[in-house]
Chain A
Amino acid sequence: MRYLPLTPSDRAAMLEKIGADSVDNLFCDVPAAARLGGNISGLPNHQSEIEVERFISALAAKNIHAGSCPSFLGAGAYHHHIPASVDQLLLRGEFLTSYTPYQPEVSQGTLQYLFEFQTQVALLTGMEIANASMYDGATAAAEAVMMANRITRRRRAVISGNLHPHYLAVIQTMADLTGFELQIAVPAPGTDENFSIDEATPCVVVQNPDFFGRLHDFSALAETCQKNGALLIVVVTEIISLGLLKSPGEMGADIVVAEGQSLGNGLNFGGPYVGLFTCKEKYVRQMPGRLCGETVDTDGRRGFVLTLSTREQHIRREKATSNICTNSGLCALAFTIHLSLLGEKGLTDLAELNHAMACNLADALAKIPGCKILNNTFFNEFVIELPKPAAPVVDELAKFPILAGVPVSRFYPDNVALKNLLLVAATELTTDKDIAILSAALAEACA
């Protein structure tokens, strides 16, 4: 069915009113040589809705998606259960169609959930203040580095080698385009890094759990940063880990950025996701993005408004803290609904379940001859070393189909030392049967 708001008689009436014979006649002022004069070559005729659906479904069926088979994919995007109530609430018209709530008098619902979102994010990360969200974890990380550059007036950020390579790539893009330097460590799965921090260092960027799944306490690093006038930026790509782990705020982080996809948001083929951004309150004027605040109206009743907007582009123009002019509103709402449904205990239970399934997975994989677990600590994801290159093994297992995890070589194609490493994740959706299937197939592939 085509959606055409005007009937043929509507069109005829409009054409008659303006004195044109046909729609084509409206373009008679465009020289004939510049007009197409027929169909666009190579573009097929329009198809019916049924035909389009059939075509797209066949295309989609070529994918092996995480819900269709045993999946151990992670590396910054995690397959979690989303309660049906999350989607149902998201579909409410007030939420689904909401946009930037500049007018508080008509946007109290949107503003209130953003305020709740900020509160949840601040509590989770252990930080003083959180904004109304960024595009995703990687762009939030790049914004964090630029914020540290502004605060410290320094230009050479120190980046952990165990930061997610996609996050590094986005930071690198911003560094290249806006002109700051990076001091990037080499990836070192399973090791504690030593960073060289000096008076040119605006910040140190680290991840917990790191890209290879290992857990860290950055308290000592936070102190070293402080002594050197640098900021500690902690990145979290699996937000559910904070249901169990010591928060970056407790470690003394100055800025914490995270990917919020794991709560309420599907894998979505890599996006849209929702970036979380938090910092110490003293840095709020340098924070990017929208910020929602609680206030009272003229009658003294509690209400919510966007606040501290003078940081933002629509007011401060080229001197704004960032060129982000929006937030991931709907994804942030999904995050908030899911976390509200879980509650504090529910989140801890969910985190424990994730860790327990990952322990089961590690126990099973450790028994495979030639396979070695590299992590001495992990939350729901870790690295195993296979006796052969991981990428062909993953391709082989995809034929079953089993999504066996992410070969580390995919991110570091030139690093020979990493080519046998496989990053595997478990979540509450992982079953004992999934683990048994993977173990058997992997044992065979490695034999």
Chain B
Amino acid sequence: MSELRYTKDHEWARIENDITICGISDYAQNALGDVVYVELPDAGRIVKAGEQIAIVESSKVASDVYAPMDGIITAVNDTLSSNPGLVNEAPTGQGWFLKIKFSDAAQYAALMDEKSYTDYTKGLHE
């Protein structure tokens, strides 16, 4: 599987063949606090990069989650409905949100790598 890439809205994505798996970043889960609910879309939905696809709620805030790439949703992480805390425990692992069969690999290449994203989040504090 490929390395993690990030959007400015704090989603991460990695790709394997023509599938991207995505979720929210460690930075994002830390900023949200304890995640209590994740609303996921139905598989089969066609999405555009930047389109709102999920909602993540902590006890104090609800945030939209956006698609990192164009494509069709092939799977969602149903375990999050019974165990939303996985988003805090393993944001880039077991806390993944969904998989998209993508159409344009260049969109992945255009996302930030780990270092750029770290710099980007540091900039947000200044």
B61 engages A285 (CB within 8 Å):
no
The interface centre, meaning the residue of B37, B62, B64 with most chain A CB atoms within 10 A of its CB, is B62
Is A301 in contact with chain B by the CB < 8 A criterion? Answer: no
- Residue on A nearest B42 in the bound complex, by CB: A153
| Chain A neighbourhood of B122, CB < 8 A | none
Is the C-beta of A319 less than 8 angstroms from some C-beta in chain B?
yes
The answer to whether B60 has its CB under 8 Å from any CB of chain A is yes
B113 at the A interface (CB under 8 A): no
Query: A275-326: which have CB < 8 Å to B?
Result: 285, 310-311, 315-316, 319
Q: Are the CB atoms of A310 and B64 closer together than 8 Å?
A: no
Interface flags for B52-75 (1: CB within 8 Å of A; 0: not) read 000001111110100000000000
Please report which residues of chain A, range 314-370, place their CB below 8 angstroms from some CB of chain B when the two chains form the complex: 315-316, 319
Minimum C-beta distance from B58 to chain A (A):
8
A315–B64 CB distance below 8 A: no
Q: Is the CB of A315 within 8 A of B37?
A: no
B36, B37, B60, B62: the one within 8 Å of A319 (CB) = B62
**Chain B residues whose CB sits within 8 angstroms of the CB of A316 once the complex forms:** 62
Indicate if the CB atoms of B61 and A315 lie closer than 8 Å: yes
Q: How far is the CB of B12 from chain A (nearest CB, A)?
A: 23
CA A310 – CA B62 in complex, angstroms?
6
Give complex CA distance A285, B36 in Å: 12
Shortest distance between the CB of A151 and any CB in chain B (Å): 11
Residues of A within 8 A of B39 (CB): 285
Residues of A within 8 A of B62 (CB): 310-311, 315-316, 319
Please give the number of chain B residues whose Cβ is less than 8 angstroms from any Cβ of chain A in the complex: 10
Bound form: Cα–Cα A316–B58 in Å: 11
Name B58's closest neighbour in chain A (CB-CB). A310
The distance in angstroms between the C-alpha atoms of A311 and B59, with both chains bound, is: 11
Which of B37, B59, B64 is in CB contact (< 8 Å) with A285? Answer: B37
Question: Which chain B residues lie closer than 8 Å to A310 at the CB level?
Answer: 36-37, 57-62
Complex Cα distance A311/B62, Å?
8
Residues of A within 8 Å of B61, CB to CB, are: 310, 315
- Which residues of B have CB within 8 Å of A285? 37, 39
* Complex interface: chain B residues within 8 A of A311 (CB): 62
Which residues of chain A have C-beta atoms less than 8 A from B64's C-beta?
Answer: 319
| Docked complex Cα distance between A316 and B63 (Å) | 8
Looking at A310, A311, A316, which has the most chain B CB atoms within 10 Å of its CB? A310
Instruction: Give Cα distance in the complex from A311 to B57, angstroms.
Output: 9
Residue of B nearest to A286 (CB): B39
Tell me the bound Cα distance from A90 to B60 in angstroms.
33
Residues of A within 8 A of B59 (CB): 310
CB distance from B125 to the nearest CB of A (A): 23
Q: What CA separation (Å) do A315 and B60 show in the bound complex?
A: 7
Residues of the A chain whose Cβ atoms lie less than 8 Å from the Cβ of B57: 310
Residues of A with C-beta under 8 A to B37: 285, 310
Bound form: Cα–Cα A310–B39 in Å: 12
Measured CB to CB, the closest approach of chain A to B97, in angstroms, equals: 17
- Kindly provide the distance from the CB of A96 to the nearest chain B CB, expressed in whole angstroms: 31
Q: How far is the CA of A310 from the CA of B64 in the complex (A)?
A: 12
How many angstroms between the C-alpha atoms of A29 and B86 in the bound complex?
Answer: 62
Bound CA span A315–B33, Å: 15
Q: Taking the nearest CB of chain A, how far is it from the CB of B55, in angstroms?
A: 8
B-side contacts of A319, CB under 8 Å: 62, 64
Closest chain B residue to A311, Cβ basis: B62
A311 to B39, CA, bound (A): 12
Other A-B pairs beyond A310-B60, A310-B62, A315-B62, 10, CB < 8 Å:
A285-B37, A285-B39, A310-B36, A310-B57, A310-B61, A311-B62, A315-B61, A316-B62, A319-B62, A319-B64
Task: List, sorted by A's number, 17 A–B pairs whose CB atoms are closer than 8 Å.
Answer: A285-B37, A285-B39, A310-B36, A310-B37, A310-B57, A310-B58, A310-B59, A310-B60, A310-B61, A310-B62, A311-B62, A315-B60, A315-B61, A315-B62, A316-B62, A319-B62, A319-B64
Q: Which 8 A-B pairs have the closest CB atoms?
A: A310-B62, A310-B57, A316-B62, A315-B62, A315-B61, A285-B39, A310-B61, A285-B37
